[in-house]
Amino acid sequence: MTNRLPDNDKQFPVHGAGLGLRRPLLNKLMADPPADVDFMEVAPENWIHVGGKLGKKFRFFTERYPFVIHGLSLSIGGPAPLDEQLVRDIRDFMKEHDIRMYSEHLSASSDDGHLYDLMPIPFTEEAVSHVAARVRRVQDILGQRMALENVSYYAPLDTSMNEREFLLAVLEEADCDLMLDINNIVVNSINHGYDAGEFLRAMPAERIRYFHLAGHYIEDEDLRIDTHGTPVDEQAWGLLADAYRLFGPVPTLLERDFNFPPLDELLDEVRRIKSLQIESSRQDAVNG
């Protein structure tokens, strides 16, 4: 028995292997738009109301690739009032560029002001209710469902529930979708001493919309830092293959935020994602 998705890919906003579009990559990608990239993702806060030459460059990509967006600053778990104007701006931005889905981090990023980081929130029933109510309000404003990402964290504030229980409770009470970050499972499993495969198997297949994959920094044998500044770790590649065996070839986006390698090296990782997806599809066919 597995948690495999049904043979119905309509639940996915995009397909295949994607790449996070970052400004240092714009000119190189414009010069030769890669056919290996099936979709792209940006943080909406970095592009809303951007016009001029930079806005035209962004339009170049949205006219050629399907897009999803992944927010940085909504602070869905924070104590400050929900920034409803930001949500309305995101809604309009999605309509303007025909963007398929919006996801956010299951974290806090503001209080009296912006914290410029993704801070953990307590794993409690009270926090579940707080976050779920805010997610439902966001979905009402957007007029569509949003997804939450499982985030990396280093010093939990309250462990009345564990990370898996908290994530599942929020998804259920908010009735929202899941953007599952494979690297964050690896990082958290090492830092907090749990089984990555067990966490993965507990994820609700019907809520998964796409995966993230990124690199992390090895500070010590039992301490990993989620940086998005290195190649993908082999343990994360292995867990991604496990995820495809469980859920099928879910659309997967490669994140790289700095320390950019030559473009072809970056695209090699995108191609490796596609290779694993093809292998998963072939295995499905063999198994009937």
Please list the residues that pair with 105 across neighbouring strands: 149
Supply the pLDDT for residue 118. Answer: 73
Supply the pLDDT for residue 2. Answer: 42
Entry field: residues in the chain: 288
Alpha-carbon gap, residue 115 to 186, rounded angstroms: 25
Please list the residues that pair with 179 across neighbouring strands: 149, 210
Supply the pLDDT for residue 6. Answer: 43
In terms of Cα–Cα distance, which of 220, 107, 224 is closest to 154? Answer: 224
Query: Which parts of the chain sit beneath pLDDT 50?
Result: 1-7, 113-116
Tens of pLDDT, residues 22-51: 999 999 999 999 999 999 999 999 999 999
Supply the pLDDT for residue 224. Answer: 83
Supply the pLDDT for residue 112. Answer: 52
Domains detected in the chain:
9-287 (3.20.20.150)
Supply the pLDDT for residue 210. Answer: 98
Supply the pLDDT for residue 247. Answer: 96
**pTM greater than 0.85 (yes/no):** yes
Supply the pLDDT for residue 111. Answer: 54
Which positions ≥6 away from 67 have C-beta within 8 Å? 39, 40, 41, 42, 61, 97, 98, 99, 100
Supply the pLDDT for residue 7. Answer: 43
Tens of pLDDT, residues 107-144: 998 555 444 457 889 999 999 999 999 999 999 999 99
Q: What does the CA dihedral 220, 226, 228, 229 come to, rounded to 10 degrees?
A: -30
